[in-house]
């Protein structure tokens, strides 16, 4: 059983193509979002039940449900060809790659930022990476429902396939790399961000066409990976949205 918790994530799931089977609402919950959830569930023919507190707690002990839980089947994953096809719907095809990011809060935050940037194609390494669980869904604030996610066993092989499809590979990397503002991102692009402590792996870095970094001006020499990813993505989107960008 897979759960989506939180009012906004559940509403986003109801308004997307998620395969939901049931929605539970804690008895006595009120408000505009609760009303919207009830309307959306009825519109899609999804059973919605209001439960007293003790029965609601039997479903999950998570304290951050905001009184709403949705039940759905396993997270749907897409194959590499499907996310490439989705990426090519953009003027400048774009795929975001997460290499061995282990904190589900970071994964969820990155997915939320990606969706806000209009990015739909996400590639995630299968091993040494956070699972797509309730925490990821909650932290993404429902963004995950609008993304196509591909999990791969071998990132090196996936990168080779992307290159065959015309993608340039750019990775975030602290050593021997360019300032991120020195790159022209108006190209078919796969952008890689890496593990919270180690960054992208050496083999991954070796396969990149360019490596970039964010300049650090304080005494701390790194940013949280989700924060760094947001900075990278908004610069990429800024350039790709501007016909005058160099």
| Full strand arrangement of the beta sheet holding 20-26 | 2-5, 68-72, 20-26, 47-51
Mean pLDDT of 111-140: 92
pLDDT at 246 over 50: no
pTM: 0.78
The confidence score (pLDDT) of residue 244 equals: 44
The confidence score (pLDDT) of residue 162 equals: 98
Q: For 170-219, how does the pLDDT look when each residue is reduced to its tens digit (9 = 90+)? A: 999 988 899 999 999 999 999 999 999 999 999 999 999 999 999 999 98
Could you please state the CATH topology (level 3) that the domain comprising 80-241 is classified under.
Answer: Alpha/beta knot (3.40.1280)
Q: For 144-154, how does the pLDDT look when each residue is reduced to its tens digit (9 = 90+)? A: 989 999 999 99
What residue spans define the domains of the chain?
2-72, 80-241
The answer to whether 149 touches 82, Cβ cutoff 8 Å, is no
The contacts of residue 107 (CB under 8 Å, 6+ apart) are 98, 101, 124, 129, 130, 132, 136, 139
74, burial (CB in 10 Å: exposed 0-12, middle 13-18, buried 19+): exposed
In the structure, what pLDDT confidence band is assigned to residue 44 with cuts at 50, 70 and 90? confident
Could you please state the CATH topology (level 3) that the domain comprising 2-72 is classified under.
Answer: 60s Ribosomal Protein L30; Chain: A; (3.30.1330)
Mean pLDDT of 60-69: 89
The answer to whether 210 touches 168, Cβ cutoff 8 Å, is yes
Q: For 65-113, how does the pLDDT look when each residue is reduced to its tens digit (9 = 90+)? A: 999 999 876 678 999 999 999 999 999 999 999 999 999 999 999 999 9
CA–CA separation, 115 vs 238, rounded Å? 15
Least confident piece of the model among 16-20, 33-37, 177-181, 231-235: 16-20
Mean pLDDT of 236-245: 80
Best CA proximity match to 107, nearest among 78, 136, 81: 136
Collapsing DSSP states into helix, strand and coil, what is residue 121? strand
């Amino acid at each position: 059983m897979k759960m989506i918790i939180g009012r906004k994530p559940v509403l986003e799931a109801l308004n997307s193509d998620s395969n939901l089977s049931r929605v539970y609402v804690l008895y006595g919950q009120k408000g505009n979002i609760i009303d919207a959830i009830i309307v959306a569930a009825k519109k899609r023919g999804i059973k919605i039940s209001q439960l007293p507190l003790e029965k609601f707690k039997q479903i999950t002990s998570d304290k951050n449900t905001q009184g709403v839980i949705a039940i759905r089947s396993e997270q749907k994953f897409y194959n590499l060809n499907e996310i490439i096809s989705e990426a090519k719907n953009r003027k400048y095809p774009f795929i975001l790659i997460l290499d061995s990011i282990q904190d589900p809060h970071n994964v969820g935050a990155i997915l939320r930022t990606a969706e806000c940037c209009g990015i739909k194609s996400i590639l995630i390494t299968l091993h040494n990476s956070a699972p797509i669980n309730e925490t990821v869904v909650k932290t993404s604030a429902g963004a995950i429902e609008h993304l196509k996610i591909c999990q791969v066993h071998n990132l090196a092989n996936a990168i080779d396939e992307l290159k065959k499809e015309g993608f340039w590979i750019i990775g975030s990397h602290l050593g021997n790399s360019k300032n991120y503002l020195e790159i022209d991102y108006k190209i078919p692009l796969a952008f890689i961000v890496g593990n919270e402590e180690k960054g992208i792996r050496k083999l991954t870095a070796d396969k990149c066409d360019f490596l970039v970094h964010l300049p650090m001006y304080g005494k701390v020499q790194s940013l949280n990976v989700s924060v760094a990813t947001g900075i990278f993505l908004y610069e990429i989107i800024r350039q790709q949205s501007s016909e005058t960008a160099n």
